[in-house]
Structure 1
């Protein structure tokens, strides 16, 4: 608790010091809240749990000129039901170069800047709830027809009690008319602790998903309509004597249809089970949704957008999961509200 309070005062001190350098100071604050209840009682691959909390993330933007800026802030998490005032403090501090459609970012920055659209094949929902930032760098291109990013996230520094882990990732999308193609990929490096008591091999987990599809949004009587299909690949390697890669492949499809404030989103995976070493390393090694451990898996999200504006969004989801020959359900309510100098937003 004392460390969290000290961290808040440090950030406030940084903000106060920046105020003295220039009059071109912008600010923004995001408050976001989540309530996620999953009913997976009989599943062998995913656990039932209820997650809830609220994030407060104030930031100060020091704009040097039209190209260069520095952002300093903090993300404060309070979990529902907790006795603590602040349950987790995550610092935000990064440099950004932005010229036209190109951006370069380095430091501790928001995960959503590069991973917002990654499917749950790569990142389970709780990653966004409890790990809002990345630590590393990113190259981002945001063109009209072509979008993409290349990023590094140093997730954990090696010590006598913590492993060395990091991601190198890429995502890209090309759209021409109603046709689009997408790729999401990352490699996760998972090493051991310093001077381990027992030998543990270094692990690499590589995931890639390539899809093509059609976006008919606005061209039919409904507002949102898109369909895509492609190939998902998971590769696992334990660097022992042979260091052979273990491949897990499957077909991946997505369908979304929506009218005004209601809609449905469906994702389907048909293929071999992912996460080969999950029984040993659990979610330390794998950051994707554990349901992909079972192989064939379908998720249907029925959603209501109570509010969907540039500065505020409130969304309710009722999700049905078909896995292991069973039907499971999940309820999620999310809120996000932004205030501040919108000209400084990413």
Structure 2
């Protein structure tokens, strides 16, 4: 492990030097890539330096115990060693985790799509509840959420809502939320108190830069239409809403949230780019035979990942068998426990793979 950490430290020094070179500063694509690498390496190097300092202190304490004649000094060194050794174990575990190869998309912002599935109006209401849950989570995490497009349900909630979320390592935390979310509860319209089951799907896409995927604007058809829903006098009177179609793949993205056609175009293009990137990434992984069916990974969109049972106040994540009985807190944005446990489970898988390799 020390050899790996020293190699990372040397690479960190190289990247630091490259970032101040004029030819790199003037090349935006190269500068962004190196700057991202610098940030990723910085976390590891900072911990590595702390670890080296700790090892030095352990060695010094052992030296005192072995050579010092004064019994009081030796006792002090033994007490210090008793404190330092558990710290070394904890630090080594942390460093092992930091050395696990990261998904290059983990540090990216995301496009999140929430859609009502089976269950009629109740599914739309549940999609609205999930949107609120993620809004509250974003507030807690200090992330910024921005509405891109929404189609409201007839009885409230949303048939579909698309948002952008930006902040630190958003994709790395939120990628586990992709899949089918199931709710079991008595709908407000149910007169006989029967429990209904409804579903909503969540898709989390990494927001990609222009240089991550090349889109030829000649391959994109742009359609304008009148925005619908709330929005003031401009709704249904101006062609500000934008629908973009990527002709080669058939992928469609639209935005009608802004009054400005230009802003709607920019948002729709952002979504289109992320959707095309996802398709290209899936093809690449398949071609390389690298599409690992992870127990906890972002997985298949059709996989049922979590159940929210209102009568029992229970939330169960089916991938890791985690059940909690604090549903109101979860629906108020308290999803961190699930995210953390899923991250730990994924890292455990990667460590096993590394050991088997």
Normalized per residue, which structure has more strand? 1
Q: Please report the TM-score for the alignment, with normalisation by the length of structure 1.
A: 0.22
**Which is greater in Rg?**
2
Q: Which has the higher helix share?
A: 2
